[in-house]
């Protein structure tokens, strides 16, 4: 909202100017009034304004003198002169001072509004120039684009920001694409997450090198680290130019980061209002698929062409796998995992059946542990984008378990065995070393030290890990709500249950269920 100061020694003129037009509709407000130049200067010292509308002939200080003084202090303030004197000398001097217009009394409404609209365009251009000189312009634009893609920005605010930030809104075709940068674990590739904005900036430069007439490209990183590409076109150019631009960006990122890069293009929408939908479909496609191999062609959503029936039926032979785990056959376990994940497909597969099966395999191994730690399972799953990465995770988790399970088991003292048994049978109840030590006729401190020494973890951690293990099974294999699950395993406070689950499992209960997508 722009602030306006009215300066005139005639009260009726001041009152009339306040109501002559709808100032709010023009994104302006009358901040204050003054009867002469001296009073105006005094008020401007405390509250600078964007526009001064002033009479010329006033006592103590004329309008022209006021303009000279204000311009010396605030060079960006704009001025409109009012006068009942149609004298060329005033007009000429006003023009010399750089006023926006010279309006005769009584003021013509249309001329005043036209002058204001002209000033608003000037202000917008000045703002753009000032912002563009600062790197914050790109940060601001990325923020607005992210909110637009996620549909978390009000339509009016977006239109205002889009005009300021030169985001196209009048094209006839809009669609989104995404470039996913995948640095697999243990491949010696530095994760380029920290400089994604720079990558997006360079991608935009590459995409704009050979654009067809009427087409625009804007690139920005989203909150998940993907580079989102906005394609906007005012003509029916087809998809060839988009594929060509995306391919150039993809090649540059791969060369610059050493990582694998995959590109997905969404369906076109007819107005800028459809861009969030196109973006959502691209992100959903990425969420639902795993990539195969180190190099793929650019995928267009809606054209998977994958044998769904085969993928939906792909489940591991769990009885065979359980036997291999119990026998400790590491080579056979590896062979089993390799055969299961050996898929003869092009570029990508559906994520759901492979994630479900991977979770089954890892939980089967975790069931062998006395105090399963799920942090390395579910937290790592959220960062998996490829079938090979998923296979590596499954092997790592399972072999970590086998390494400890098939060593010589510890001989627990009778007191610690009693504690373990009490936790197993009463984990839903309130448990503490104080109450357990009374049952065992031991000092709480001694029992705590003994348990830590033999179990390798504190009593409270053991109880929480056991409860989270039971909660994990309920979340995956029942339809109970998360709050009900928490209460069933001993957490009366739902928010506390969420915090503990996140701490020990690495993901929230909701995120866990999203990973394990039920059939």
Output the 3-class SS for 420-480. Answer: HHHHHHHCCCCCCHHHHHHHHCCCHHHHHHHHHHHHCCCHHHHHHHHHHHHHHHHHHHCCC
- Report the pLDDT value the prediction gives residue 232, as an integer from 0 to 100: 94
- Report the pLDDT value the prediction gives residue 309, as an integer from 0 to 100: 35
Task: Give the separation between CA 408 and CA 383, rounded to whole angstroms.
Answer: 34
Residue 400 contacts residue 369 (beta carbons within 8 Å)? no
Which CA distances in Å does 328 have to 319, 341, 371, 392? 14, 20, 19, 19
- Report the pLDDT value the prediction gives residue 307, as an integer from 0 to 100: 38
Task: Give the separation between CA 19 and CA 16, rounded to whole angstroms.
Answer: 5
Residue-wise pLDDT for 166-214, tens only, equals 899 999 999 999 999 887 555 444 555 558 888 999 999 999 988 888 8
DSSP code string of 332-380: HHHHHHHHHH----SSEEEHHHHHHHHHHHHHHHHTTSSS---HHHHHH
pTM value is 0.57
Strands 227-233 and 289-291: unpaired
- Report the pLDDT value the prediction gives residue 131, as an integer from 0 to 100: 65
Question: Cβ neighbours of residue 77 under 8 Å, at least 6 residues apart?
Answer: 48, 49, 50, 51, 52, 70, 71
Strands 215-221 and 173-182: unpaired
Residue-wise pLDDT for 283-302, tens only, equals 999 888 888 866 666 888 76
- Report the pLDDT value the prediction gives residue 357, as an integer from 0 to 100: 87
Structural domains present in the chain: 2-131 (3.40.50.2300), 137-300 (3.30.70.270), 309-405 (no CATH)
- Within the chain, which residues score under 50 in pLDDT? 187-189, 303-312, 408, 518-519
Degrees to nearest 5, angle at CA 249 with 196 and 215: 105
């Amino acid at each position: 909202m722009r602030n306006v100061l009215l300066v005139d020694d005639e009260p009726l003129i001041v009152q009339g100017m306040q109501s002559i037009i709808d100032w709010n509709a023009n994104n302006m407000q009358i901040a204050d009034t003054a009867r002469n130049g001296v009073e105006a200067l005094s008020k401007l010292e405390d509250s600078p304004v964007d526009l001064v509308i002033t009479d010329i002939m006033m006592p103590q200080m004329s309008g022209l003198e006021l303009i000279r003084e204000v311009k010396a202090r605030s060079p960006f303030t704009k001025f409109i002169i009012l006068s009942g004197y149609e004298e060329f000398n005033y007009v000429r001097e006003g023009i010399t001072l750089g006023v926006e217009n010279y309006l005769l009394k009584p003021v013509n409404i249309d001329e005043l509004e036209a002058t204001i609209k002209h000033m608003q365009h000037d202000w917008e251009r000045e703002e753009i120039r000032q912002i563009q000189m600062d790197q914050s312009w790109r940060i601001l634009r990325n923020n607005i684009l992210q909110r637009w893609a996620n549909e978390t920005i009000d339509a009016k605010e977006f239109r205002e920001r889009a005009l300021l930030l030169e985001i196209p809104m009048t094209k006839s075709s809009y669609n989104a694409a995404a470039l996913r940068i995948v640095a697999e674990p243990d491949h010696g590739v530095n994760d380029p997450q920290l400089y994604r904005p720079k990558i997006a900036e360079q991608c935009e430069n590459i995409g704009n090198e050979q654009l067809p007439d009427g087409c625009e490209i804007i690139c920005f990183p989203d909150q998940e680290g993907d580079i989102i590409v906005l394609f906007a076109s005012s003509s029916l150019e087809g998809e060839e130019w988009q594929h060509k631009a995306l391919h150039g960006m993809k090649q540059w990122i791969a060369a610059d980061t050493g990582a694998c890069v995959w590109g997905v293009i969404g369906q076109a929408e007819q107005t800028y209002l459809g861009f969030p939908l196109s973006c959502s479909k691209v992100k959903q496609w990425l969420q639902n698929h795993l990539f195969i191999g180190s190099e793929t062609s650019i995928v267009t959503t809606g054209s998977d062409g994958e044998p769904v029936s085969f993928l939906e039926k792909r489940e591991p032979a769990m009885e065979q796998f359980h036997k291999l785990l119990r026998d400790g056959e590491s080579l056979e376990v590896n062979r089993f995992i390799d055969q299961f994940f050996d898929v003869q497909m092009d570029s990508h597969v559906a994520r759901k059946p492979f994630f479900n099966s991977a979770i089954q395999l890892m939980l089967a191994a975790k069931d062998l542990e006395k105090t399963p730690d799920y942090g390395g399972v579910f937290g790592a799953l959220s960062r998996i984008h490829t079938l090979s990465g998923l296979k590596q995770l499954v092997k790592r988790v399972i072999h970590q378990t086998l390494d400890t399970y098939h060593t010589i088991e510890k001989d627990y003292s009778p007191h610690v065995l009693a504690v373990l048994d009490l936790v197993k049978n009463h984990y839903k109840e309130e448990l503490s070393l104080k109450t357990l030590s009374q049952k065992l006729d031991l000092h709480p401190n001694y029992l705590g030290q003994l348990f830590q020494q033999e179990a390798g973890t504190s009593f409270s951690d053991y109880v929480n890990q056991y409860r989270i293990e039971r909660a994990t099974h309920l979340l995956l294999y029942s339809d109970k709500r998360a709050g009900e699950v928490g209460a069933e395993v001993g957490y009366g406070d739902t928010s506390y249950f969420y915090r503990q689950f996140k701490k020990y499992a690495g993901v929230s209960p909701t995120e866990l269920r999203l990973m394990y997508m039920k059939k």
